[in-house]
Amino acid sequence: MAAGLRQLGVSASDRIVVLAWFGAARSGAVTVPLGIRQQRPEIAYALKDCSARVLIHEAELADRVPSPTEAPALERRIAVGLRGPDTFEALVGGASGDPPVPVPVGEEDTAAILYTSGTTGRRKGG
C-alpha cells in the first residue's frame, strides 16, 4: 500500500482520508486500527482482547493474520489487493449502491478502540 501511495504522488505529511473507517462507524461497528509494524503475536493479542469479528488487512500482511485458535472471535479475514470472495474489493464491489440504512449511534457509543504503546506491559485498548 505504501508503494502504491508513493506511485500516486503521496509524500510525507500528506493527509489521507480513510472512508472505510467511517463506513465501519456508520454500520455501528467499532474500528480498531493497528500499526503495520505489529507482528502476529501483537495482532493476535489485540484481536482477542477486543473480541474482533472482522480483520481487514493488506494482502502482503497475510502471514501476520492470526489463526482461529489465536483469535477465536474472528469470523472474517478480508484481504485488500486480492481477488475473490474474502477481499475488500468484493466487499465494496458487492454493495448494492443503495444508501446504507442508518444505525442509531449515540454520543456515548464507542467509535474506535486505540491501543496504547504499552509502556508498562502489553498494549492496552481504550
Asked whether 2 and 16 are in contact (CB, 8 A), the reply is no
| pTM to 2 decimal places | 0.72
Cell numbers for 106: 449515540
What is the residue-level pLDDT of the chain in tens, covering all 126 positions? 666 667 778 777 777 666 667 777 777 888 898 888 889 999 999 999 999 998 888 888 889 999 989 999 998 888 887 777 777 777 666 655 666 666 788 888 888 888 877 667 777 776
**Structural domain boundaries of the chain?**
26-93
Please calculate the CA angle 15-21-25 and round it to the nearest 5 degrees: 140
Predicted pLDDT at 46: 92
